[in-house]
Chains A and B, each alone.
Chain A
Amino acid sequence: MTPSTLNKIPEKFSGTSSVLSYYLKFLILGAFFGFVLTKAEVISWFRIQEMFRFESFHMYGVIGSAVVVGMVSIFLIRRLNIRSADGEKIVLRPKKFHPGTLLGGIIFGLGWALTGACPGPLFALVGNGFSIILVPLASAIVGTWVYGYFRDRLPH
């Protein structure tokens, strides 16, 4: 693997079957994630209300233990210099800070408590057959678009 081929996925694959197998793993990972989100009721509006009322440990336990697992794995990946399956070095992009990190975060939080769902659960709820959730999902896409439209005029 030469540096020039990095991040050129899926162009580095030739043939339909390898492109399919490249995307298949994301489909499976996503399905696993959506399944767990549903089974833990993380996608429930009621669970989010409970969380923001500090009435139950459930959501804090889910997010907290997920962060611990993520933290330990990234520590090990870095410490042991583990490479990805394609032999690439794993480099994490730093998260940038700007006023929007807080302002956008507050705006997101308002929406999270109203819809009772962040983006992952919105998709999972649609899968669970709640067709009405297509409305907040479409609205979230519009919100993303409007952010892009006004981006230059917002403090960053």
Chain B
Amino acid sequence: MRDVLYEPWPWYIAGPLIGLMVPLLLLLANKQFGISSSLRHMCAACAPIKIPFFHYDWKTERWNLVFVGGIILGGILASFFMPNEPVQITADTTAQLKALGVEEFNHLIPADIFSWSNLLSFQGIVFMVVGGFLVGFGARYAGGCTSGHAIMGLSYLQWPSLVAVIGFFIGGLTATYFILPLLF
């Protein structure tokens, strides 16, 4: 049991557990699984100004904010059970990333790119500020993110969700092969 908690979990354990979010939210509370809406509720709660998109009763959606609060809590709990070793990505990926210029492989994220000291460099701004902005803007424009479209939407056979997921990959592959090489 101790080993199971400390080892990284394989996809066939983690995937089904993540998929269980869909029926658990529906059965326990009649809510549809989705994360990025929480960002909209935060805007609606904090700075709606005169934007119609942010004028709705966000308080009825507070459950979603509590849910993402739970994700932070889950991250805190899991951090006690993380092995102190690099993520076991394939040797090929490691080689490609090294060739690109990534130097630090010891944590879940590369500390040479994602650090406060790198924040004000061109590289840091693109990876962290621009990247985050595109995630938030794109998720709302597409009507969902990986959870709302790829997992929830595909689960009840919504073809717009499939289109969105294809979009995720067009964007992701473009960034991986054409944009990342420009950032090192």
Residues on A close to B: CB < 8 A? 7-10, 22-23, 25-53, 55-71, 73-74, 77, 82, 84-86, 88, 90, 92-97, 100-120, 122-133, 135-149, 151, 154
Report the number of A-B residue pairs with Cβ-Cβ less than 8 Å.
514
Q: Is the interface of A mostly helix, strand, loop or mixed?
A: helix
Q: Is the CB of B19 within 8 A of A108?
A: no
Interface centre among A30, A47, A137 (most CB of B within 10 A): A30
Q: Is the CB of B27 within 8 A of A77?
A: yes
Is B67 close to A, CB under 8 A?
yes
Q: Is the CB of A77 within 8 A of B60?
A: no
Residues on B close to A: CB < 8 A? 8-30, 32-33, 35-36, 38-40, 42-43, 47, 51-54, 60, 62-64, 66-79, 81-82, 86-87, 89-90, 92-93, 96-97, 105, 107-110, 113-116, 119, 126-147, 149-161, 163-176, 179-180
Interface centre among B116, B141, B179 (most CB of A within 10 A): B141
Q: Is the interface of B mostly helix, strand, loop or mixed?
A: helix
Q: In the complex, what distance in Å separates the CA atom of A120 from the CA atom of B150?
A: 13
Question: What A residues does B135 contact at CB under 8 A?
Answer: 108, 111-112, 115, 117-119, 122, 136, 139-140, 143
Q: Closest residue to B142 on the A side, CB-wise?
A: A104
- Sample of 20 A–B contacts (CB below 8 Å): A9-B60, A27-B73, A29-B28, A31-B70, A34-B72, A38-B74, A39-B78, A43-B75, A61-B15, A62-B14, A63-B150, A69-B16, A70-B155, A74-B155, A106-B138, A107-B142, A114-B179, A118-B139, A127-B76, A148-B43
Contact of B72 among A8, A41, A92, A126 (CB under 8 A): A126
Q: Is the CB of A63 within 8 A of B163?
A: no
